[in-house]
């Protein structure tokens, strides 16, 4: 049961409030019950942290993708302008 209190809650802010209340309630239970429920709560806490890490990674990847898209759109527009300029110069040269 000590693993819940020691390792899982070093970063309490990363765990939802309802899960924090659940673990606090488990600590109030008699040791025999708390030791049975403790590993299950540990698994839920770890799963929650893993999901948050994944969500953060996805959000960062989406931010990078948005930035990359902006650069690509800028590059595309610049390429189109250059193409149009060369086309005009070619038409002037042919005439």
Domain boundaries defined on the chain: 2-94
CA distance 30 to 25: 11
Express the helix, strand and coil content of the chain in percent, nearest 5 each.
90, 0, 10
> 43 is written with which tokens?
């698994």
Q: What is the mean pLDDT of residues 27-40?
A: 91
pLDDT of 85 above 70: yes
> 65 is written with which tokens?
């993708």
Percent of all residues in the chain with a pLDDT value above 70, rounded to a whole number? 86
Percent of all residues in the chain with a pLDDT value above 90, rounded to a whole number? 66
CA terminus-to-terminus distance, the chain: 87
pLDDT of 43 above 60: yes
Q: What is the mean pLDDT of residues 26-42?
A: 91
């Amino acid at each position: 049961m000590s693993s819940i209190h020691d390792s899982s809650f070093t970063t309490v802010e990363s765990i939802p409030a309802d899960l924090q209340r659940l673990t606090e309630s488990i600590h109030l239970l008699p040791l025999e019950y708390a030791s049975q429920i403790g590993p299950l709560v540990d698994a839920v806490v770890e799963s929650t942290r893993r999901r948050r890490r994944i969500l953060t990674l996805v959000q960062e990847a989406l931010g990078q993708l948005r930035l990359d898209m902006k650069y690509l759109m800028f590059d595309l527009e610049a390429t189109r302008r250059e193409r149009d300029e060369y086309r005009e110069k070619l038409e002037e040269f042919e005439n």
